[in-house]
């Protein structure tokens, strides 16, 4: 890897400075005119996109750079006495930044239509631009400390935007609450939940970073993977790595911290699309990808560090299990956005799986590139899915699929876009980018000989196609629901989305198709780019330790086996769903009645595997109870009472003491004489001893 | 210190106490102004007496005399001002009893 | 030996004398504001001379500049003695005076007899600077009385109302009693040492033998005499009457700087003539300082009258300044013999903090009184309950008012925080001494207590819903807002870069205690 510093560095800095500036200017522009504010916000996100797009040529040239400026100087500090801020431009950050900025820009445009007329738009634009800025800051950072600013910035924006409709009014129940029954939450609750859950992960992340800092003496990625990581003793490195992984687990909603993402759907759909599907949740995956080289270095160049491979297995298994668990929940959910949210968690699981597998084998390229490729293609089709779902929710005024049905004739563009994006999600062969990226992800465990992980991933393919087809069927096929009939009685007809909304998701669908058609080339090109970039990490001539060199499937065979199995699984999931929900030949409830086990399973999954409930019972409710107790007994009972007593006593004392100031001149002069005497006596007393 | 000077000093001290007593006890505002004048005179007497002690050969001691003369001028100004205030106070309060001037208190 | 030493006082005095002439000329040509602009110009010129004098003092080898008549020099003749402490005080006086003059331009325009107003204002500041520049008691006394007489008249300036008359009479009687007390002490000092020059007095007193009852008597008389003007409890009872009764611009002068003249005189006389190395006056000063702030705090808590509350808060701050002096003197008295360097450092810190607080309180309290003048000007009431929410209607004034309250409450990063911090730090530097710990804790507790009502006032003025009287208020005119905003900006800027003032205050403190 060659670092060139004299290259023109401004786009990398400006990419995150522009949207930040836009965020700051939003309230000011709002003073001018609401239109100026709206278009101003979009212009700034457009500028960010231009900046990131101008970085793409470096991918072809193979020139990557790393630029630093002095940030904070702490003389005499044991570590980081000269803290540098910097940007790093390499394939990973270029790809990720373009995903963020391009999708961000499209969604900002879409917001023009979707959020039209909302009274709090200033806040909305502020946080959207601040989000894009923070996200790009996170992506471009060359060290963990600077990254943390972006990391927490996106968390803050996520919190603020999930709870965008913070009034929690029951009128908006159909639009922005999530869940049903005992697990239904208002937006402000969901925002809080997201924030606190991800902060839990961040806590571990911070601890891990401190550990690294204490031993390696730097948090700069380049320095770390350039050898500083080898200074960390093994006994510290493993806990540090696992703690560091806490951040991605929270941010990317992996088990056991996955429960916030489905509830994050309480925010506007644009927010769900941008933050909780396409970009912020990918930050966790991105971070794993970012620290991957340095831990990889530690494993394969740091002597016999076989133990560290456990860390990568943990990542892979967490990803695989999350993928399956979340996917299964998507099969039964009744809300269209929640299906997509579970699907997001599930796909993030795939990416984690791929990166984890990559680290556990010497031939990391397939897994690593698979993870990054899947990240990119997922961002595109999932953003498209959310935006189309937003269009449907917009017109049906409900988030429940049972309130939709039979609307494909009324909104053909939305229908086709959503179908194509869903095919990409399912991994329909050849034409869709999802197929290629998912196959790469599944190929990796096969090559590494991790057959159980491969099996779990393959089953998840069936699950994915089942819920995708089910979602399409419930939304667009079959008879019209009673909710829509009711709406029509009120003179409100289902209609196609306006142009400003369908152009963005059409662009995304075209993007995913383009990558799908060129799939093999893109795949090969990515492999080439990353091979060139990370090639020096490859153990030279089998110089890696023999003990961990697992030999799985031969490479040529694996591609075909994976493709075959994934197509088979695709059909296994899609066909039943097709008959049940699209053709509506069979009634799902009949099955549930006939097979009791199925009903029990459904109930179990519907209750979100009881994970959510467990967290509430074990942590949230006891915590709130304890705090309420403290409030009543300690705050109100002791501290407040003490304060009142103190305040009243002081006021009372003051009131009676004031009477000494009679205002009569005679008394005042007597005061002088008294003071004279007292001063004299005290002086005599102190001097005489 | 000569015996003669001590007498002067004692007289000045008594005058001073008298003046302070006058200010601190009397109710009539004009009497209070007079009390201030008595105080002033006591201090002047003291000054001049101590000055004469410093230069027994000379009849006048320059610095003490200058201070006292300046102070007399100032005392006159103060007395004028005080009496002016007394007149105005009488206009507003229709009394010369200083104890009734207590709208400003606490 | 430079005539420059005389220039600040002379400029102001001549301006005071010329004001009626300028007024008449202005009337003749139909430009009445000429007299206002003339006095503003006089203050500006004085500020310039003070600045030149500052450079002169800094450049001089011995650290001070002296002026006296050739034939009539010390130890008998009058002397002007200017060191960095004098310059520091003069900066504060003239700075606040300039702001007040600008403020008066519009604030006083409805009053009559403005030529006298400006003449008295100029004479008062001349007197204050004269006190700061005096090298002997005689000089000090003359300028002291110049200042006091002007102040009495200015308090009673709106003599058609009852309040200024009552307040001014009380002020006059008590203050005159005070000045006669120190004049009495002066006569004894003269009798004992044969000189009124501060430097010569210090020698003469040491020869006379320090620990006699006469000496205690003299120290008591001097502290009580100056203490009346400095409004040390229990000599303070005139202040809460006189300061609110005056026009707001004069309240700002009186509370901001005139009471500091009393403190300055105590500092100068006690530290130079009765050096703390000989006399243990620090302990009693501290006790009176604590008493001052405690009593004034208790009195301020329930005030309904905004200006009266601010007046009591001035007494509180005098308490801090006095305690700072006490801590410094205590350190010198008790630790100089065993650890001279440490004692000097601690005393320097305490007195620097106290002098820094002089600046902060002058700026902050001047600001607050000027703001209250704007409020009263608009709402026609001084009742806090009626003024609630007025800050919302007058955003510039309201915001500056909040800054003033916060700086006096000692909220970082405003300037008031630093000075209190230095005083408290100096106290805790002698943490082995239980008495000092007690004093320091008392200062801290009083600080917190004071913050309570400052914040309360801020909450009422800034955040409550405006009442009927406050509802109609509009922002004050530009020349009234300008000095307010400048003073508020000073609080913020000095808060962020305290070094700006600390350097001046530090050299002033060391001019006082040496080392």
- A129, A26 Cβ separation under 8 angstroms: yes
Spatial separation of the C-alpha atoms in residues A437 and A443, rounded to whole Å = 10
Spatial separation of the C-alpha atoms in residues B105 and A663, rounded to whole Å = 4
Check CB contact of A657 with chain C, cutoff 8 Å.
yes
- Please report the pLDDT score of residue A496 as a whole number: 85
Spatial separation of the C-alpha atoms in residues A614 and A612, rounded to whole Å = 5
From the list C235, C280, C298, the residue facing A653 with the nearest CB is C298
Chains that touch C (3 or more CB pairs under 8 A): A, B
Inter-chain residue contact C302 with A653, CB threshold 8 Å: no
Chains that touch B (3 or more CB pairs under 8 A): A, C
Among B19, B24, B25, most A C-beta atoms within 10 A, so best to mutate, is: B24
**Locus of tokens 């949207």:** A19
In A, residues 632-661, which contact B (CB 8 Å cutoff)? 658-659, 661
Spatial separation of the C-alpha atoms in residues A298 and A589, rounded to whole Å = 54
- Please report the pLDDT score of residue A305 as a whole number: 56
- Please report the pLDDT score of residue A537 as a whole number: 66
Q: Which residues of chain B lie closer than 8 angstroms to C169, CB-CB? A: 29, 82, 85-86, 89, 101
Predicted complex ipTM: 0.95
Q: By C-alpha distance, which of C266, C192, C187, C286 is closest to C225? A: C266
Inter-chain residue contact B67 with C186, CB threshold 8 Å: yes
From the list A651, A665, A687, the residue facing C216 with the nearest CB is A687
From the list C173, C220, C283, the residue facing A680 with the nearest CB is C220
At A529-544, the pLDDT tens digits run 888 887 766 654 444 4
Confidence of residue B56 (pLDDT cuts 50, 70, 90): low
Classified as helix, coil or strand, C284 is helix
CA dihedral C114, C115, C118, C123 (to 10 degrees): -140
For residue C426, the distance in angstroms to the closest alpha carbon of chain B comes to 34
Q: Which residues of C278-308 are buried (b: 16+ CB within 10 A; e: fewer)?
A: ebbbbbbbbbbbbbbbbbbbbbbbbbebbbb
At A280-294, the pLDDT tens digits run 889 999 998 888 888
Among B72, B74, B80, B95, most C C-beta atoms within 10 A, so best to mutate, is: B74
Classified as helix, coil or strand, C89 is helix
Among B54, B88, B105, most C C-beta atoms within 10 A, so best to mutate, is: B88
- Please report the pLDDT score of residue A545 as a whole number: 41
Spatial separation of the C-alpha atoms in residues C42 and C373, rounded to whole Å = 23
How many CA atoms does the CB half-sphere of A660 hold within 13 Å? 14
- Please report the pLDDT score of residue C262 as a whole number: 94
Residue ranges, chain C, pLDDT below 50: none
Residue A127: pLDDT above 60?
Answer: yes
CA-based nearest residue in chain A for residue C278: A687
Spatial separation of the C-alpha atoms in residues A437 and A276, rounded to whole Å = 20
Pull the structure tokens for residue A450.
């991790």
For residue C317, the distance in angstroms to the closest alpha carbon of chain A comes to 19
| Of C3 and A548, more confident | C3
For residue A648, the distance in angstroms to the closest alpha carbon of chain B comes to 19
Q: Which residues of chain C lie closer than 8 angstroms to B50, CB-CB? A: 187-188, 190-191
- The alpha carbon dihedral of B76, B78, B84, B86 has a sign of negative
CA-based nearest residue in chain B for residue A668: B24
End-to-end CA separation in angstroms for chain B: 48
- Please report the pLDDT score of residue A544 as a whole number: 43
CA-based nearest residue in chain A for residue B25: A666
* Helix, strand, coil % over all residues of chain B, rounded to 5: 80, 0, 20
CA-based nearest residue in chain B for residue A669: B24
Confidence of residue A303 (pLDDT cuts 50, 70, 90): low
Check CB contact of C83 with chain B, cutoff 8 Å.
no
Pull the structure tokens for residue A680.
């004299």
- C148, C131 Cβ separation under 8 angstroms: no
φ, ψ (nearest 5 deg) of residue A449 = 80, 15
Neighbours of A104 (CB within 10 A): 29
Confidence of residue A128 (pLDDT cuts 50, 70, 90): very high
The overall average pLDDT reported for chain A is 86
- Please report the pLDDT score of residue A256 as a whole number: 84
Q: What Cα–Cα distance (Å) separates residue A686 from each residue in A75, A593, A689, C433?
A: 48, 98, 5, 15
DSSP A291-350: HHHHHHHHHHHSSS-GGGHHHHHHHHHHHHHHHHHHHHHHTT--BHHHHHHHHHHHHHHH
Check CB contact of A665 with chain B, cutoff 8 Å.
yes
Spatial separation of the C-alpha atoms in residues A90 and A132, rounded to whole Å = 19
Classified as helix, coil or strand, A408 is coil
From the list B24, B104, B105, the residue facing A666 with the nearest CB is B24
Check CB contact of A669 with chain B, cutoff 8 Å.
yes
Domain boundaries, chain A: 10-165+176-537+552-606, 612-688
Confidence of residue A220 (pLDDT cuts 50, 70, 90): confident
Q: By C-alpha distance, which of A444, A392, A437 is closest to A414? A: A392
Q: Which residues of chain A lie closer than 8 angstroms to B102, CB-CB? A: 662-664
CA dihedral A446, A450, A452, A458 (to 10 degrees): -30
Spatial separation of the C-alpha atoms in residues C127 and C93, rounded to whole Å = 10
Inter-chain residue contact C299 with B71, CB threshold 8 Å: no
Weakest mean pLDDT among A104-118, A120-134, A480-494, B16-30: A480-494
Classified as helix, coil or strand, C83 is strand
- Please report the pLDDT score of residue A540 as a whole number: 45
Inter-chain residue contact C138 with B103, CB threshold 8 Å: no
- Please report the pLDDT score of residue A480 as a whole number: 85
Q: What residue numbers bound the domain in which C499 lies?
A: 276-515
CA-based nearest residue in chain C for residue B74: C145
Q: Which residues of chain A lie closer than 8 angstroms to C283, CB-CB? A: 682, 686
- C473, C379 Cβ separation under 8 angstroms: yes
Top-level class of domain B3-98? mainly alpha
Spatial separation of the C-alpha atoms in residues C132 and C264, rounded to whole Å = 7
In A, residues 625-654, which contact C (CB 8 Å cutoff)? 650-651, 653-654
Pull the structure tokens for residue A317.
């298994």
- A111, A38 Cβ separation under 8 angstroms: no
For residue C490, the distance in angstroms to the closest alpha carbon of chain B comes to 33
The radius of gyration computed from the CA coordinates of chain A, to the nearest angstrom, equals 30
DSSP A483-532: HHHHHHHTT----PPPHHHHHHHHHHHHHHHHHHHTHHHHHHHHHHHHHH
Please give the tally of structural domains in chain C: 1
CA dihedral A367, A368, A371, A373 (to 10 degrees): -110
DSSP C314-362: HHHHHHHHHHHHHHHHHHHHHHTTT-HHHHHHHHHHHHHHHHHHHHHHH
DSSP C294-310: HHHHHHHHT--BHHHHH
Among A660, A674, A683, most C C-beta atoms within 10 A, so best to mutate, is: A683
Q: What Cα–Cα distance (Å) separates residue C392 from each residue in A160, A192, A611, C139, C400?
A: 29, 33, 51, 48, 12
Domain boundaries, chain B: 3-98
Helix ranges, A62-116 (H): 91-114
How many CA atoms does the CB half-sphere of C162 hold within 13 Å? 11
Size of interface A-C (CB pairs under 8 A): 80
Q: What is the model's pTM?
A: 0.69
- C96, C359 Cβ separation under 8 angstroms: no
Residue A400: pLDDT above 80?
Answer: yes
From the list A659, A664, A673, the residue facing B102 with the nearest CB is A664
- Please report the pLDDT score of residue B41 as a whole number: 95
Check CB contact of C271 with chain B, cutoff 8 Å.
no
Confidence of residue A546 (pLDDT cuts 50, 70, 90): very low
Residue A406: pLDDT above 90?
Answer: no
Chains that touch A (3 or more CB pairs under 8 A): B, C
Q: Which residues make Cβ contacts (< 8 Å) with residue A486, sequence separation at least 6?
A: none
Check CB contact of A32 with chain C, cutoff 8 Å.
no
- A233, A148 Cβ separation under 8 angstroms: no
Helices (H) and strands (E) in chain A, counts: 30, 2
For residue A670, the distance in angstroms to the closest alpha carbon of chain B comes to 6
Spatial separation of the C-alpha atoms in residues A265 and C480, rounded to whole Å = 55
**Locus of tokens 């997922």:** A378
At A3-49, the pLDDT tens digits run 555 556 788 888 899 999 999 999 888 888 888 899 999 999 999 99
Long-range contacts of A517-525 (CB under 8 A, 24+ apart): A517/A431, A519/A430, A519/A433, A519/A435, A519/A436, A520/A436, A522/A373, A522/A433, A522/A436, A523/A369, A523/A373, A523/A436, A523/A440
């Amino acid at each position: 890897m060659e670092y060139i510093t004299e290259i023109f560095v401004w786009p990398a800095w400006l990419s995150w400075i522009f949207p930040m500036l836009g965020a700051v200017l939003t309230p000011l522009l709002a003073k001018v005119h609401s239109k100026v504010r709206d278009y101003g916000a979009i212009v700034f996100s457009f500028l960010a996109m231009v900046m990131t797009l101008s970085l793409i040529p470096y991918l072809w040239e193979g020139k990557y750079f790393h630029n630093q400026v002095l940030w904070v100087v702490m003389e005499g500090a044991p570590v980081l006495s000269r803290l540098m801020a910097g940007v790093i431009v390499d394939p990973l950050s270029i790809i990720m930044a373009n995903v963020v900025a391009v999708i961000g820009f499209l969604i900002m445009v879409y917001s023009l239509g979707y959020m039209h007329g909302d009274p709090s738009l200033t806040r909305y634009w502020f946080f959207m631009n601040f989000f894009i800025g923070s996200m790009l800051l996170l992506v471009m950072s060359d060290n963990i400390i600077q990254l943390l600013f972006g990391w927490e910035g996106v968390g803050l924006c996520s919190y603020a935007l999930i709870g965008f409709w913070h009034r929690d009014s029951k009128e908006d129940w159909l639009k922005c609450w999530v869940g049903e029954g005992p697990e239904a939450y208002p937006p402000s609750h969901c925002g809080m939940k997201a924030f606190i859950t991800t902060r839990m992960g961040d806590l571990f992340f911070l601890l891990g970073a401190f550990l690294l800092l204490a031993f390696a003496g730097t948090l700069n990625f380049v320095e770390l993977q350039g050898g500083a990581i080898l200074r960390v003793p093994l006994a510290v490195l493993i806990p540090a790595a696992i703690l560091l992984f806490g951040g991605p687990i929270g941010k990317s909603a992996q088990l056991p911290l996955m429960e916030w993402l489905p509830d994050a759907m309480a925010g506007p759909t644009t927010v769900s699309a941008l933050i909780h599907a396409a970009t912020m949740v990918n930050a966790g995956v991105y971070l794993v990808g970012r620290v991957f080289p340095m831990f990889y270095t530690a494993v394969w160049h740091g002597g016999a560090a076989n133990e560290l491979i456990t860390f990568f297995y943990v990542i892979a298994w967490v990803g695989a299990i999350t993928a399956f668990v979340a996917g299964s929940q998507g099969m039964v959910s009744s809300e269209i956005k929640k299906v997509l949210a579970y699907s997001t968690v599930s796909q993030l699981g795939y990416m984690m799986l791929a990166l984890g597998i990559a680290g556990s084998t010497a031939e990391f390229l397939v897994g690593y590139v698979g993870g990054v490729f899947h990240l990119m293609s997922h961002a595109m089709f999932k953003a498209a899915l959310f935006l189309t779902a937003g269009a449907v929710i917009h017109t049906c005024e409900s988030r429940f699929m049972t309130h939709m049905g039979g609307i494909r004739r009324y909104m053909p563009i939305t229908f086709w876009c959503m179908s194509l994006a869903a095919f990409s999600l399912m991994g329909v062969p050849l034409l869709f980018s999802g197929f290629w990226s998912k196959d790469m992800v599944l190929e990796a465990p096969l090559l590494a000989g991790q057959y159980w992980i491969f099996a779990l991933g393959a089953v998840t393919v069936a699950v994915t196609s089942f819920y995708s087809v089910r979602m399409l069927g419930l939304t667009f096929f079959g008879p019209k629901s009673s909710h829509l009939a009711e709406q029509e009685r009120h003179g409100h007809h289902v209609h196609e989305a306006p142009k400003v909304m369908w152009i963005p998701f059409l662009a995304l669908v075209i993007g995913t198709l383009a990558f799908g058609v060129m799939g093999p080339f893109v795949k090969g090109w990515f492999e080439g780019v990353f091979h060139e970039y990370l090639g020096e990490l490859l153990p030279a001539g089998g110089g890696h330790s023999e003990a961990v060199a697992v030999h799985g499937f031969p490479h040529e065979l694996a591609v075909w086996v994976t493709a075959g199995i994934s197509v088979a699984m695709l059909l296994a999931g899609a066909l039943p769903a097709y008959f049940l929900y699209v053709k509506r030949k069979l009634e799902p409830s009949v099955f549930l009645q006939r097979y009791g086990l199925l009903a029990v399973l459904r109930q179990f999954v519907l209750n979100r595997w009881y994970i959510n409930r467990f967290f509430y019972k074990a942590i949230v409710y006891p915590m709130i109870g304890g705090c309420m107790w403290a409030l009543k007994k300690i705050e109100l009972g002791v501290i407040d009472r003490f304060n009142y007593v103190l305040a009243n006593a002081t006021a009372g004392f003051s009131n009676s003491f004031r009477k000494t100031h009679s205002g009569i001149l005679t008394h005042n002069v007597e005061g002088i004489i008294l003071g004279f005497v007292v001063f004299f006596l005290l002086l005599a007393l102190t001097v005489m001893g | 210190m000569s015996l003669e000077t001590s007498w002067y000093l004692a007289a000045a001290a008594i005058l001073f106490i008298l003046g302070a007593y006058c200010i601190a006890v009397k109710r009539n505002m004009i009497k209070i102004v007079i009390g201030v004048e008595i105080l002033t005179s006591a201090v002047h007497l003291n000054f001049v007496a101590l000055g004469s002690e410093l230069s027994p050969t000379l009849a006048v001691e320059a610095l003490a005399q200058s201070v006292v003369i300046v102070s007399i001028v100032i005392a006159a100004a103060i007395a004028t001002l005080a009496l002016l205030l007394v007149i105005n106070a009488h206009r507003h309060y229709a009394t010369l009893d200083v104890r009734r001037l207590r709208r400003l208190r606490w | 030996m430079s005539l420059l030493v005389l220039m600040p006082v002379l400029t102001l005095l001549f301006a005071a004398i010329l004001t009626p002439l300028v007024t008449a000329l202005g009337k003749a040509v139909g430009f009445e504001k000429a007299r206002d602009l003339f006095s503003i110009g006089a203050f500006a010129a004085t500020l310039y001379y003070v600045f030149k004098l500052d450079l002169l003092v800094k450049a001089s080898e011995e650290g001070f500049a002296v002026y006296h008549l050739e034939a009539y020099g010390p130890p008998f003749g009058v002397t002007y003695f200017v060191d960095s402490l004098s310059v520091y005080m003069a900066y504060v006086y003239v700075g606040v005076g300039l702001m007040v003059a600008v403020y008066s331009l519009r604030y006083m325009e409805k009053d009559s007899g403005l030529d006298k107003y400006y003449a008295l204002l100029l004479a008062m500041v001349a007197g204050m600077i004269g006190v700061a520049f005096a090298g002997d008691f005689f000089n000090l006394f003359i300028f002291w009385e110049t200042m006091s007489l002007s102040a009495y008249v200015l308090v009673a300036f709106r003599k058609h109302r009852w309040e200024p008359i009552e307040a001014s009479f009380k002020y006059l009687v008590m203050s005159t009693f005070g000045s006669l007390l120190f004049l009495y002490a002066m006569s004894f000092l003269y009798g004992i040492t044969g000189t009124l020059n501060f430097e010569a007095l210090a020698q003469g007193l040491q020869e006379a033998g320090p620990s006699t009852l006469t000496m205690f008597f003299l120290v008591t008389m001097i502290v009580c005499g100056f203490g009346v003007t400095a409004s040390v409890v229990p000599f303070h009872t005139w202040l809460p009457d006189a300061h609110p009764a005056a026009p707001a611009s004069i309240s700002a002068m009186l509370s901001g700087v005139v009471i500091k003249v009393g403190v300055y005189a105590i500092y100068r006389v006690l530290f130079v003539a009765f050096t703390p190395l000989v006399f243990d006056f620090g302990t009693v000063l501290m006790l009176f300082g604590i008493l001052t702030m405690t009593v004034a705090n208790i009195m301020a808590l329930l005030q309904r009258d905004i200006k009266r509350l601010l007046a009591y808060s001035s007494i509180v701050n005098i308490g801090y300044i006095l305690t700072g002096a006490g801590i410094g003197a205590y350190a010198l008295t008790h630790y100089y013999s065993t650890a001279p360097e440490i004692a000097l450092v601690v005393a320097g810190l305490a007195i620097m903090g106290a002098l820094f607080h002089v600046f902060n309180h002058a700026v902050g309290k001047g600001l607050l009184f000027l703001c209250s003048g704007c409020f009263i000007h608009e709402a026609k009431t001084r009742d806090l309950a009626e003024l609630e929410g007025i800050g919302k209607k007058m955003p510039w004034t309201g915001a500056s008012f909040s800054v003033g309250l916060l700086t006096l409450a000692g909220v970082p990063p405003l300037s008031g925080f630093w000075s209190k911090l230095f005083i408290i730090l100096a106290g805790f530097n002698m943490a082995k001494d239980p008495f000092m710990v007690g004093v320091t804790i008392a200062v801290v507790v009083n600080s917190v207590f004071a913050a309570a009502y400052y914040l309360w006032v801020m909450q009422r003025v800034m955040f409550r819903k405006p009442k009927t009287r406050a509802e109609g208020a509009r922002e004050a005119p530009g020349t009234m807002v300008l000095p307010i905003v400048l003073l508020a900006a000073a609080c913020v800027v000095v808060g962020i870069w305290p070094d700006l003032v600390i350097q001046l205050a530090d050299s002033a403190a060391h001019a006082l205690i040496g080392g």
